[in-house]
Amino acid sequence: MKHSIKIIFILAIISLSVSAQNYTLSGYIKDAKSGEAVIGSSIFLTNTKSGTSANTYGFYSVTFKASDTLGVVFSSLGYQPQIKKLSGRQNQSLNIDLLENSSNLQEVVVKASRNDDNVQKTQMGVIDVPMKLANSLPVVLGERDIMKIIQLLPGVQAGNEGTTGFYVRGGNSDQNLVQLDEATVYNPNHLFGLFSTFNSNALNRVTLIKGGFPAQYGGRLSSVLDITMKEGNNKKVAVQGGIGLISSNITVEGPIKKEKGSFIISGRRTYIDLLAKPFVKGIGYTFYDLNAKINYQITPKDKLFLSGFYGNDNANYTGASSLNYGINFGNSTATLRWNHLFNQKLFANTSFIINNYHLGLSTIQSGYVAQLYSSIKDINAKTDFEFYPNQNHNVRFGVNFSTHTFAPFSASIKIPKSGKVPKFNPDSLAIKTIINELAFYFNDEIKLSSNISLNAGLRVPYFYTKDISYKYLEPRISTKINLNQETSLKLSYTVMNQFLHLIPNSTASLPTDIWIPASKATAPQQSKQISLGIFKNFKENTYKTSFEVYYKDMKNQALFKEGTLLTQVSVIENNLTFGKGYSYGAELFIEKNSGKFNGWLAYTLSWTNQTFKDLNFGKEFPFAYDRRHNLSIVGNYDLSKHWMLSGAFVFNTGRPYTLPVGRVDVGNGGTLYNGTYADYTERNNYRLNSFHRLDVSAIYKKTRQLFHKSYESEWVFSVYNLYSRRNPYFVYLSTDEITKTPVATQVSLLPAVPSVSYNFKF
Amino acid sequence: MKKVILIFLVTLIGFMDFSCEKVITIKEKPYQDQLSIECLLVPGQVPKLFLNKSVAYFSSKTSSADLFITDATVKISSGNETDILKPSSERNPFLCQEEFFYLGKIPAVFGKTYKLEVVYQGTTYTAETTINQSKPKLNTVDYTQKFNDVYGEHEGIILNFNDTQNEENNYRFQMIRQVDSTVRTANNKVYRTECNGANKFTINEVGRSVYNDQNKNGLPMSFVIEPAYTHTNGQVAKVYLQTMDSKSAAFFDALDRQKLATYNPFVEPVFLKSQIAGCIGVFGSLNISEPIEFIFPE
């Protein structure tokens, strides 16, 4: 470990010291129509055939050797590239506004721009979700959902049908860090996981990182889902919205002061409660979410962003005998960010983040009211620096401090004779556990030669509570070798630690997941991952392909002990057992992002196994979401000026589950045991039937007039599970008490679900 | 446009089918049958041992006659005294079928250590137990119309007793009553009692849950049990309190949790750990209180 740190620093110092007569070009790249940052856009220097890309705020900085003229191409997918000829003998600041493509220009545009980040960037295991395509894909009940798109990417396994949970490279769902404007969202789902909490109209960019993690990310083992909200249109006021079968949404954005600051506010609410009321008695359900963001350019070098998110679900059930259940859960986040440009080469962002997750379950029954409550409040302060010393280095370093306050609470009291149900104040009653995380990191993307580059970093997380502390070194190394202009080979090695466990309720998709921090009894989760990939583009980057193989080793994995029933658990730690796991596999990704027909094919072949001393007689067994084959085919076709067709087909090997293999007659008190008991020999020894589904949608777009003003409208017709495949949700057993014959019954969730929705944009 | 919407909806409603459950056929994995032994010695009673062969889970062999092993040698000995158990059977009047077991002749004695030896197809299975659970004393038996457990809301019988001091005890419910052919299981679905005609017959029900006396040494204890069978108002029953050794309790507790897990896909499965090497099963002991008469409330 010490040697690798030394090597990283020596390389960095040697490389940084090499600087001839260099100049720097820097600036921001924005969308010409809205002023939104075009995150990740490419800056390519034609002189040196090298380049860089814009950061999360659209900022770029590139240093070049002195020359008479400098050719620069600014490009991004879905935008017309801009080619600039500049003086090559001075430092320059240049802001670029990129114009969106019209569809018929796309083929030309792709050829003109490089659009080959997948091959040229050192980082691997990264997928930028194409938002445009994501918005046209069919989803349940017409609700566009970015989390459903994530499930269609290579290396990502979906959970049960109807859920938005995802499992990356054999990791559990808690091993995914979901961040919205840097704030952690602990539960990104609405009830039953049918929809995520993210309103796609308010999102600018969604990036999934599943391997080769840069050092600025930490705290989770398997993936980072980095979601950036839009900043808001700083040119004009714009309104867009949608009316669906069960919910509607609206987004308003506009300038606070033209070109200086803007705002965006976006809300969504379901009316399923109102629709169901006449037909279903005793059940109530609502969800809503709200996103808001403002930004303001204080000086040319300083910009402030304030963003917030609030999502909440409320459900209740009133049954016979005055039985009453209630669930209330939600996330709220607030992020204040300050961008400061020290100079052309040094960019800094300082963030102050508060986020809150709560889950409340209440029961009123037989004269008693019971409440189970769990919440996590995080306060997080961080500073990240980006330093671009010369054309061979892109350095990032920073520090991150966060406190997590866990407040589990449960109580049960008798309802007084007055009948007034007492209210609890869990926040004041809960016994709080406070944990702290401090992390430093340093990361340098080093260009060693024209064909070889290295991304080397180190993260040092330190976890402490009043009882215990843990500190680790997490080396992160990725390297890229260009085999030719269109092909590269990449290798990465990462070590990750995670100080939180989500106690998995693997089969059910109810929001009863409970987070617990690392402690003396619960060691932090750890992983080491190595991955190797070849990246190749064809037909001038029209087709992008990648083939990656990986091996991931995981320690301190948590599962419930045998026979644990979540509703009966009072002290969770006492019902957990710890073990280890490993996953390996191969992922193929073929993507076409432009032209009338675009889409992707993703195929994953993988194996994930776990070993727990207290489970399966200590023998290895398949992970609950181990799926041998996972195929997604996603397509989008512009049929005409008005009509667009989309489809998504998924096929997964059924997930493993446990069935007894033998049956024994019970002698004593047999009737109570249905006459038999079971002989289990192996955990997860059977597999559910294969899962496959085809979703289709047709979108009709038209520009219409309202009060002499034109607006864009679209009707979206979609069918989820077109051929109504009975995909397995779970299998349960029963026994005929007389014949003692066991029966297996498969439960499926969603048949063909048609939907229609209407969207508009002023 | 309206036409498009109409056609779209009409066509797709045709595809929709809301049935969510279907019985499936599981392709079974190869299974090597095992020997199952179940025997709890009770002071003052002759040994009764259930000896069966396990079968593949979905096998069509389900009756006691199909699974019972008739050609084994079963011995229970204590000191120089050996009891050779012989195949026997009795009628289960509720299910109207014969049930088979091995039966001894020498009643078990409190405080003695017993060795079990089962020889079957050339293999010998052995186990040992000591009957050292004192006879428990049941104080009172009550009734509640409603109580809640993981299976929902039920009526319940409440057993009140004092834990026996300075002993590890694992308590279980037992109730014996006379019923007629109108009796059903508690879920009111299962019966096959017609063979009894108008005659009354005895049913013996044993609680599935086992209650450990940890941190209750000598203190008052109580637990509530849902009766396994239906009853009529005013019906008389004899309620007993059993206590068993810790190995047997672990086995029956695992069995209870396994039952819940097998039928509930949201519960982690429970793998039984046998108390007898080389086979599935338990050889232990229990002691039973004097009964208290209980009358189901009118």
Domains of chain B: 35-130 (2.60.40), 138-259+288-295 (no CATH)
CATH architecture of structural domain A126-227: Beta Complex (2.170)
- CB spacing of B263 vs A733 below 8 angstroms: yes
pLDDT of residue A51: 81
Q: For residue range A198-254, list pLDDT tens digits in order.
A: 888 888 888 999 888 899 999 999 999 999 888 888 888 999 988 888 888 899 999
Question: B200 pLDDT exceeds 50?
Answer: yes
pLDDT of residue A3: 59
**Residue in A562, A563, A752 nearest the CB of B15:** A752
Q: Could you list the beta-strand ranges (E) of B163-210.
A: 170-179, 201-206
Question: B145 pLDDT exceeds 90?
Answer: no
Question: A665 pLDDT exceeds 50?
Answer: yes
Two structure tokens written together for A60: 């770029």
| Alpha helices for A261-352 (secondary structure H) | 272-276
* Closest by CA position to B297, among listed B144, B139, B179: B144
CA dist list (Å): B242 to B169, B206, B255, B291: 9, 9, 17, 10
Choose the weakest-confidence range: A403-412, A450-459, A493-502. A403-412
Choose the weakest-confidence range: A647-661, A694-708, B2-16, B122-136. B2-16
pLDDT bin (cut points 50, 70, 90) of residue B170 is very high
- Contact yes or no for A126/A119 (Cβ under 8 A): no
pLDDT bin (cut points 50, 70, 90) of residue A452 is very high
Torsion of CA A46, A51, A53, A59, to 10 degrees: -80
Question: B19 pLDDT exceeds 60?
Answer: no
- Contact yes or no for B86/B185 (Cβ under 8 A): no
Closest alpha carbon within chain B to A755? B9
Amino acid at B216: K
C-alpha to C-alpha distance for A512 and A69, rounded to whole angstroms = 62
Choose the weakest-confidence range: A8-12, A748-752, B118-122. A8-12
pLDDT bin (cut points 50, 70, 90) of residue A421 is low
Contact status of A758 with chain B (Cβ, < 8 Å) = no
C-alpha to C-alpha distance for A485 and A462, rounded to whole angstroms = 42
pLDDT of residue A253: 92
What does the mean pLDDT of chain B come to?
85
Q: How many CB pairs under 8 A join A and B?
A: 214
Residues in CB range of A507: below 8 A, 6 or more apart: A160, A730, B265, B266
Question: A37 pLDDT exceeds 50?
Answer: yes
pLDDT of residue B126: 94
Question: A162 pLDDT exceeds 60?
Answer: no
Two structure tokens written together for A453: 């580059």
Question: A110 pLDDT exceeds 50?
Answer: no
pLDDT bin (cut points 50, 70, 90) of residue B150 is low
Q: For residue range A346-380, list pLDDT tens digits in order.
A: 999 999 999 998 887 777 665 666 667 778 899 99
- Contact yes or no for A499/A518 (Cβ under 8 A): yes
Q: For residue range A278-321, list pLDDT tens digits in order.
A: 766 667 778 888 999 999 989 888 999 999 999 888 877 776 55
- Contact yes or no for A736/A675 (Cβ under 8 A): no
| Nearest chain A CA: its distance from B219 CA (Å) | 23
Contact status of A259 with chain B (Cβ, < 8 Å) = no
- Contact yes or no for A349/A338 (Cβ under 8 A): yes
Two structure tokens written together for B41: 């010695």
C-alpha to C-alpha distance for B132 and B168, rounded to whole angstroms = 10
Two structure tokens written together for A663: 């049956």
* Closest by CA position to B40, among listed B49, B31, B53: B49
- CB spacing of A664 vs B268 below 8 angstroms: no
pLDDT bin (cut points 50, 70, 90) of residue A505 is low
Question: A111 pLDDT exceeds 50?
Answer: no
> Other CB atoms closer than 10 Å to residue A36's CB: what's the count?
22
pLDDT of residue A508: 41
Question: A420 pLDDT exceeds 80?
Answer: no
pLDDT of residue A594: 78
pLDDT of residue A507: 42
Two structure tokens written together for B230: 């239906």
Residues in CB range of A728: below 8 A, 6 or more apart: A654, A688, A689, A691, A746, A747, A748
- CB spacing of B4 vs A700 below 8 angstroms: yes
pLDDT of residue A116: 77
Residues of chain A with CATH 2.60.40.1120: 22-115
Choose the weakest-confidence range: A140-149, A567-576, B162-171. A567-576
Buried b (16+ CB within 10 A) or exposed e, A257-289: eeeebbbbbbbbbbebbeeeeeeeeeeebbbbb
**Residue in B12, B36, B255 nearest the CB of A752:** B12
C-alpha to C-alpha distance for A192 and A372, rounded to whole angstroms = 19
Contact status of B18 with chain A (Cβ, < 8 Å) = yes
Q: SS3 for A85-149, per residue?
A: EEECCCCEECCEEEEECCHHHHHHHHHHCCCCHHHHCCCCCEEECCHHHHCCCCCHHHCCCHHHH
């966060």: which residue's tokens? A402
Choose the weakest-confidence range: A56-60, A700-704, A713-717, B254-258. B254-258
Share of chain A above pLDDT 90, in %: 27
C-alpha to C-alpha distance for B231 and B200, rounded to whole angstroms = 13
| Alpha helices for A615-736 (secondary structure H) | none
Contact status of A613 with chain B (Cβ, < 8 Å) = no
pLDDT bin (cut points 50, 70, 90) of residue B12 is very low
Please tell me which residue, A403 or A315, carries the higher pLDDT value. Answer: A403
Mean pLDDT for the stretch of residues B285-295: 93
Contact status of B57 with chain A (Cβ, < 8 Å) = yes
Choose the weakest-confidence range: A21-35, A468-482, B157-171. A21-35
- Contact yes or no for B247/B282 (Cβ under 8 A): yes
CATH superfamily of A228-761: TonB-dependent receptor, beta-barrel domain (2.40.170.20)
* Closest by CA position to B157, among listed B177, B143, B137: B143
Q: What does pTM read for this prediction?
A: 0.82
Q: Is the dihedral of CA A593, A595, A599, A602 positive or negative?
A: negative
pLDDT bin (cut points 50, 70, 90) of residue A94 is confident
- CB spacing of B57 vs A662 below 8 angstroms: yes
Most confident of A153-157, A597-601, A607-611: A607-611
CATH superfamily of A22-115: Carboxypeptidase-like, regulatory domain (2.60.40.1120)
Residues in CB range of A634: below 8 A, 6 or more apart: A133, A137, A152, A599, A600, A601, A602, A646, A647, A648, A649
Amino acid at A538: F
Question: A661 pLDDT exceeds 50?
Answer: yes
Question: B9 pLDDT exceeds 60?
Answer: no
Quick one: A203 exposed, middle or buried, by C-beta within 10 A (0-12, 13-18, 19+)? buried
pLDDT of residue A609: 95
Amino acid at A19: S
| Nearest chain B CA: its distance from A222 CA (Å) | 24
pLDDT of residue A344: 86
- CB spacing of A568 vs B150 below 8 angstroms: yes
Contact status of A740 with chain B (Cβ, < 8 Å) = yes
Please tell me which residue, A85 or B193, carries the higher pLDDT value. Answer: A85
Question: A108 pLDDT exceeds 50?
Answer: no
C-alpha to C-alpha distance for A447 and A613, rounded to whole angstroms = 46
What does the mean pLDDT of chain A come to?
82
Q: For residue range B62-104, list pLDDT tens digits in order.
A: 777 888 999 999 999 998 899 999 999 988 888 788 889 999 9
* Closest by CA position to A228, among listed A251, A213, A212, A208: A208
Q: For residue range A518-564, list pLDDT tens digits in order.
A: 888 888 999 999 999 999 998 878 899 999 999 999 999 988 887 76
B148 to chain A: which residues are within 8 Å by CB? 365-366
Mean pLDDT for the stretch of residues A674-683: 80
pLDDT bin (cut points 50, 70, 90) of residue A395 is very high
Half-sphere exposure of A693 toward its Cβ, with a 13 Å CA cutoff? 27
C-alpha to C-alpha distance for B291 and B157, rounded to whole angstroms = 14
Question: A740 pLDDT exceeds 80?
Answer: no
Report chain B's C-alpha Rg in angstroms: 24
Segment 363-402 of chain A within 8 Å of chain B by CB: 365-366
C-alpha to C-alpha distance for A294 and A234, rounded to whole angstroms = 10
Segment 106-135 of chain B within 8 Å of chain A by CB: none
